[in-house]
Structure 1
């Protein structure tokens, strides 16, 4: 088995491509050793002591190094952990938990949506799913919808995109421009 790596726009994050499916559907982000307890793989990566974020996509794992950590030292450790995991065909999650479902607290809306906006919300989610998600997945991350209220769309960037120096530009110039173009009710996009 060979695990490829790819740079991301976030210099602290590296995308690992094991050449096989990681998640059946969806994505999952681990932002601390405590949240990583749900996954033996994520926990093993955090156990290096040099990681601040682990993100599972459908066919990749993105790892974000702690400040001051050199990828020259960390990369071989992560590759070895991933090889051990995938070669042994170990389960991705402990206790048989569903792999495509994020922790409920991460999926909560940050605003109370108006039921009258249901069509607008559906349009926003369709654009996020078909146009935005593939692009951010290519950069080793994902995007989570957090709500729509008074013309403002609330989103959370995950994985490599979460701490990326260009995340504000991605939200404001990229995603906001796209949503405003296709959904006139959208006036702004904010990080949530």
Structure 2
């Protein structure tokens, strides 16, 4: 068995770091857990969120993003997270026993399917590189409803990314879209 390789990367959010691994954590998608959430279906989230001053973990196929309290520094925290992640990888446990089902494309209008495809193809890979992801909440009165999660959820530059980048991309491609609204789910 190969030794788990863990690479710690800073993200644009000063309170979040990405931890890349050389093993598959989940088959696809992302799952986010916050301190106080029920963690019974995620041994990995249970381990990471017991570390003091950690608020959130986003689990993706080959990385986790961990967000700390904004009142503390990273001194020592990254090492504690790396150690916990290495111990978890050595255990052979599943990161998440059951991942939430993605919304079926059959439930979406043609415009929603096109917008979601654009988001999946062009936006999701870009924000994943920064340790984040998004949850698509639909289109209401021509306004795309998006929730940014992981490192992007509390990033100081997320508003600029959302409105200057994502909104412009969607509105340029689909003129019937009037704008974008960021959903905050604390």
Q: Find the counterpart in structure 1 of residue 42 from structure 2.
A: 39
Q: Is the 8 A contact 1:15 1:61 kept in 2?
A: yes
Question: d(CA) in 2 for partners of 1:22 and 1:70?
Answer: 27
Structure that is richer in helix per residue: 1
Question: d(CA) in 1 for partners of 2:40 and 2:163?
Answer: 34
Gaps of 5+ in 2: none
| 2:7 aligned residue (4, 8, 12) | 4
| 2:70 aligned residue (60, 64, 67) | 67
Q: Is the 8 A contact 1:36 1:46 kept in 2?
A: no
Q: Is the 8 A contact 2:25 2:94 kept in 1?
A: no
| 2:176 aligned residue (185, 188, 191) | 185
Question: d(CA) in 1 for partners of 2:154 and 2:126?
Answer: 16
| 1:150 aligned residue (141, 147, 159) | 141
Query: What does the per-residue CA deviation read over 1:31-74, in whole Å, with 9 as the maximum and x for residues that have no partner?
Result: 22333333111111111121111001121000001122221211
TM-score, structure 2 length as denominator?
0.89
| 2:93 aligned residue (90, 95, 108) | 90
Q: Find the counterpart in structure 2 of residue 25 from structure 1.
A: 28
Query: What does the per-residue CA deviation read over 1:123-144, in whole Å, with 9 as the maximum and x for residues that have no partner?
Result: 1110011000001111101011
| 1:134 aligned residue (122, 125, 130) | 125
Equivalent residues in 2 for 1:157-168 (5 A)?
157-168=148-159
Question: d(CA) in 2 for partners of 1:85 and 1:181?
Answer: 44
Q: 3-state DSSP class of the match of 1:85?
A: helix
Question: d(CA) in 2 for partners of 1:154 and 1:135?
Answer: 19
Q: Find the counterpart in structure 2 of residue 14 from structure 1.
A: 17
TM-score, structure 1 length as denominator?
0.87
CA apart distance, 1:183:
0.9
Question: d(CA) in 1 for partners of 2:78 and 2:41?
Answer: 23
Q: Give the RMSD, CA atoms, in angstroms.
A: 1.7
Question: d(CA) in 2 for partners of 1:171 and 1:17?
Answer: 24
Question: d(CA) in 1 for partners of 2:39 and 2:119?
Answer: 26
Q: Is the 8 A contact 1:57 1:141 kept in 2?
A: no
Question: d(CA) in 2 for partners of 1:176 and 1:38?
Answer: 34
